[in-house]
Structure 1
Amino acid sequence: MTQADRNLALLWRNHRPLAAAAKGAGRRPSLDVNEVVATGIRLADSDGLSAASMGGVAKELGVGTMTLYTYVPSKDELLELMVDQVLGERALPGPGEPRPDDWRAQVDLYSERTQLMFRQHPWLSQVSPIRPPAGPGLLAGREYLLAVVSTLNLTPHETNTAALAISTYVDSAASLQAESLLIERASGQSHDAWWTDRSDLWETYFDVERHPTMTAIWNAGGFTASPNDVAAESYDYGLSRLLDGIALKTR
């Protein structure tokens, strides 16, 4: 069995046919993979991603580290399992399940649950999305957005492209928000306080002649909102304009 095959078997461990699961019947193990993954997530949530090491998880479960390797072969695979588990926790409506009637409201549901996921598990912002775990959590998100966009009058290629554009925007912004939360936790300083400490930038170093546009917007009251408010407003603005653009293609 290749590493990729092993990863897939672990990711889809709760979705295998009953016949395949029965082949492993025998003495009941003291742990199961689900318990290992849940422990890793709990440690990462409370103490950061580094706390979810193989040794840390083994200690939390009261077993030896080598015992843990019989359930999950490596830290990388544990991380994949943790990521896919929390992706699935969004509980996005599947085929035939109730969902908002309007397609934009359905995108808002994806946005809200994705942002909540990153707030509850901010360590996700430290995990690269380039090669995501090919598990049920990932596919559930892809299926949901494709189903949303497929209700529009788009070609199959445009449907896939639009769904990817939405997930890229939402996921990236949610990751940045989670990273912001981690920085505030680690530093013990809010972003407003961080900027206040650097107020001398505007009094001593800012040159209005080199930054005429910034100066004009400042004088017009364009920079009055707090960093957190600006982030929320810019996110809503960007998502709304993205969906406007997708809607234009349907006409």
Structure 2
Amino acid sequence: MKDRLLALLWRHREPAAPARTGRPARLSVDEVIAAGIAIADADGLAAASMARVAERLGVGTMTLYTYVRSRSDLNDLMVDAVLAGRDLPGPADARPEGWKAQIQLYADRTRAMYRAHPWLSRVSTVRPPLGPGMFREREFVLSAVENAGLPIERVNEAAVAIAMFVVSAARQEGENVLLQRASGQTNDAWWQDREQFWEDWFDVEQHPTMTRVWEADGFGGGSEEQAEAAFTYGLRLLLNGIAADVSPA
């Protein structure tokens, strides 16, 4: 376990350290993290090197290492700062009425987070940084699901299912942003460039269901409209399924 990294992740919970003698610090850890996020937002995660962050802050690269030990640590700090930036309500904060509305808030803010910081879609969520941003999310989703009335031993399963669905959709939105930036082309324009495929290569007999859906205008609207409709539909079914699993009082 990286005790140094954990201390940085939870730095705002600790009491302020005694002032050091000698030359005052030129930067704060928060400034280093903010610079990394700004670079990643503009140019992608790969661009947020220690050298690039140091250059943005006007210090030498070796100076940066006195604040953050490695690029890996910086990435973890950036991720948790962005997670915390959703500002999900804590236990004592006001929140929407009803557990479904609370999950909708979580979903909306998570999707907006990936659109604003699309580089997150390049970061694995399997082993997240153990910081306040991640734990605030877990507490919020767990508490919302608990209010649905599930047995306590089922709450985590339902919360993980919700997070898997929401984050998967949000990561795809982030990937879409990155693709459009890299190609200079929207998804709809990409499909339009491939219209000839349907005339020359698409086999109606081998794809009868797709053909019926197409003829019924089931693929109507642009790609973003389709994705939004699918997400809304899927989340509603998931939450209704969890509600149906609640044992009668």
Q: Same fold by TM (over 0.5)?
A: yes
Once the two structures are superposed, the pairs formed by residues 131-170 of structure 1 within 5 Å of their partners are 131-170=127-166
User: How many residue pairs end up in the alignment?
Assistant: 246
Q: What is the CA distance between 1:23 and its match in structure 2?
A: 4.8
1:181 aligns with 2:177: yes
In structure 1, distance between residues paired with 2:30 and 2:71:
15
Of 229, 234, 239, the residue aligned with 2:235 is 239
Match of 1:22 among 17, 20, 28: 17
In the alignment, what sits opposite 2:6? 8
Displacement after TM superposition at 1:129 (Å): 0.7
AA at the equivalent of 2:8:
L
8 A contact 2:76–2:129 mirrored in 1 = yes
Q: Does 1:215 align with 2:222?
A: no
Cα shift at 1:227: 1.0
Q: C-alpha offsets along residues 37-56 of structure 1, whole Å, 9 cap, x if unaligned?
A: 01101111112112211000
TM-score (norm. length: structure 2) = 0.95
Segments ≥4 residues shifted beyond 6 Å: none
Provide the TM-score with structure 1 as the length reference: 0.95
Structure 1 residue 157: deviation in Å? 2.2
Percent identity among equivalent residues? 52
Q: Describe how 1:1-251 pairs up with structure 2 within 5 A.
A: 4-16=2-14, 18=15, 21-23=16-18, 25-27=20-22, 28-251=24-247
Secondary structure of the residue aligned to 1:22 is coil
What letter matches 1:108 in structure 2? Q
AA aligned to 2:140 is Y
Contact 2:9 / 2:80 at 8 angstroms: preserved in 1? yes
CA RMSD of aligned residues (A): 1.2
Q: What is the alpha-carbon distance in structure 1 between the residues aligned to residue 137 and residue 242 of structure 2?
A: 19
**Following the alignment from structure 1 to structure 2, what is the Cα–Cα distance between the partners of residues 12 and 202?**
54
In the aligned structure 2, how far is the partner of 1:26 from the partner of 1:124? 39
Long gaps (5+) in structure 1: none
Q: 2:220·2:226 contact (CA, 8 Å) conserved in 1?
A: no
The whole-number CA distance in structure 1 between the counterparts of 2:191 and 2:143 is 42
Partner amino acid, structure 1, of 2:183: S
CA displacement, residues 94-136 of structure 1 (integer Å, 9 cap, x when unaligned): 0121111111111111011111111111111111111100000
CA distance in 1, matches of 2:138, 2:231: 21
Give a deviation string over 1:7-34, Cα, whole Å, max 9, x none.
1111111111x2xx43564443111111
Aligned-partner Cα distance in 1 for 2:21–2:146? 45
Alignment partners' CA distance in 1, 2:79 and 2:224: 26
Gaps (5+ residues) in structure 2?
A: none
